[in-house]
Amino acid sequence: KLFRHSMARVGELWVYPVKGCRGVRVHSAKVTESGFELDRLFCVIDLDGGVVAVREAVSKRKLPALATIETTLLDDDAVLELSAPGMNALRVPTTVPADDAEEESVVVEASGRSTTASDDGGWKLGELHASIVGCATAWLTEYLNRAGGKRTQTRYALARSARPLRLEEYPPIFPIIAKAASDTSYAARLAGNARRFADFAPFLVVNRASAEALSALCGTDYPIGSFRGNIVVYGATAWAEEEWGRVAFSSAEGEHKLELSKIKECPRCTVPCRDEVTGNFLFSEEKLKLWKVLKAKFPRKADDPEWGSWAGVFFGVYFGHGGRDVGTIIREGDALQALELRKWDAHLSRTWPSGHLVMLQLGALGLLLALAAGVLALWPTLSAQLVGGEV
């Protein structure tokens, strides 16, 4: 089984300096404790709470106009440039400059209060300490109030992460997190991993062959960029990434670089249903076609109980490095080798099954009960024959 994964390689590398905005394709990326360097280092926040909950990291789920902001890294990644239609380009430092050490501090919520409708007000994974990049407030406020399509006017700011959020600090709001308290294998998935303004984990791996298979199901090319993966794998078979329990990256010369372990397959929200450049839905007449197609093809994947309220169709896989191999440089063209396989539904065989498995088990139980009833009904006749010596 491992042999069919042996030709996989890193085809593309992406970092997304500002959560929700356009990504930057890079030829090499440095591994940090929270994923690739500069990935989701910044996010946009609503200072007044006019459109999004106050201090919540704004995602493209709530503000699709973020997709129209282009990000560019300059001066050896020391400067981030933001550009948008009708706006002069804005440049900000990626680190706190020495002459501006008094940037206003802010605590940003890693939550979905503004995007998830539920009785408890959505989900919350914790808080991240950050600083507000003062020079970006007027720029973002002017542009997003104009392009955001919202009736309410508010003040937007750019927040720079001061330290990452450790996955071990997550509250047990999803079963996969809660299991870590009693199951060492689940605790190991979170241990040593951290992220900044990404939704859940430090690395998201997507597979080009899976995107091609999805395109065939949709009847048109589905842009893999809409899935916003950090590592795009070439050379693997479709959906193979969902079986990778542990993978290793190495150079063309065979030098070991990085080892990643699967955390969990990524359930998809409405973001991959949108164009990565315009923010518009890819299929205007069937906005959630991605969900419909994947659910029809893989119905069991749309109802994974370990995700709880996040359960839904998934595409791509969250991986973590456990805090190891920090400082390593990953390059496009590096080889990927599957060291261990673990099917996406392995956990379902150890827990109370749902959906089709329940129906199958109930059917089998019904058949056994019917057979037992038949034997009991025939027992008087069989008993008489045995006593009479006829058998």
The dihedral through the CA atoms of 85, 89, 94, 100 has a sign that is negative
What is the per-residue pLDDT for 359? 45
Q: Is the pLDDT of residue 4 over 70?
A: no
Taking the C-alpha atoms of residue 180 and residue 176, their distance in angstroms, rounded to an integer, is: 7
What is the per-residue pLDDT for 371? 64
Length of the chain: 391
**Tens of pLDDT, residues 156-200:** 999 999 999 999 999 999 999 999 999 999 999 999 999 999 999
Segment 335-363 shows an average pLDDT of 69
Percent of the chain with pLDDT over 90: 74
How much is the CA Rg of the chain, to the nearest whole Å?
25
Structural domain boundaries in the chain:
9-341, 356-383
Where does the pLDDT of residue 7 fall: very low under 50, low under 70, confident under 90, or very high at 90 and above?
confident
What is the per-residue pLDDT for 387? 41
What is the pTM for the complete model shown? 0.86
Q: Is the pLDDT of residue 97 over 80?
A: no
**Tens of pLDDT, residues 194-227:** 999 999 999 999 999 999 999 999 999 999 999 9
Pick 77 or 52 by higher pLDDT. 77
Taking the C-alpha atoms of residue 147 and residue 309, their distance in angstroms, rounded to an integer, is: 31
Where does the pLDDT of residue 354 fall: very low under 50, low under 70, confident under 90, or very high at 90 and above?
very low
**Tens of pLDDT, residues 47-74:** 999 988 899 999 999 899 999 999 999 9
Closest to 28 measured CA to CA, from 347, 249, 272: 249
Q: Which residues have a Cβ under 8 Å from the Cβ of 30 and sit 6 or more positions away?
A: 36, 37, 327, 328, 329
